[in-house]
Amino acid sequence: MHAAAACFDLHVPASRSLKTKRAAIRPIVDGLRHRFPVSVAEVDHQNQWQRAAIGVAVVGSSVTQVREVLASVERFVVAAPDVELLDIETGWLEAE
């Protein structure tokens, strides 16, 4: 078993309210849930208008499989309209 978690730090430059920010973030979270075998949630900056952090967890049978899913997730997030990707932090669970 191999597992990784990634946190995508996002900037929502056009947002002028929490409602507008959530309207930009919700399609990303919902799209990730439906297109990829991952768990996903908004994990930080919930009360800031122009910032968001999305956490994604992936479990797979091989490191290659997990890396491929994370790469696809990253491409999806980068392609999302109305948001800019500021940073990605990835952590791996080491199982024996």
pLDDT of residue 15: 86
Q: Is the pTM of this model over 0.95?
A: no
pLDDT of residue 47: 85
Residues 69, 58 contacting (CB under 8 angstroms) = yes
Kindly list the distances between the CA atom of residue 40 and the CA atoms of 54, 78, 93, in Å, as whole numbers in the listed order: 7, 16, 17
In terms of CATH architecture, what is 2-86? 2-Layer Sandwich (3.30)
Q: Is 88 exposed, middle or buried, given 0-12, 13-18 or 19+ CB atoms closer than 10 A?
A: middle
The residue ranges of the chain whose pLDDT is under 70 are: 95-96
47 Cα distance to chain centroid: 18
pLDDT of residue 11: 94
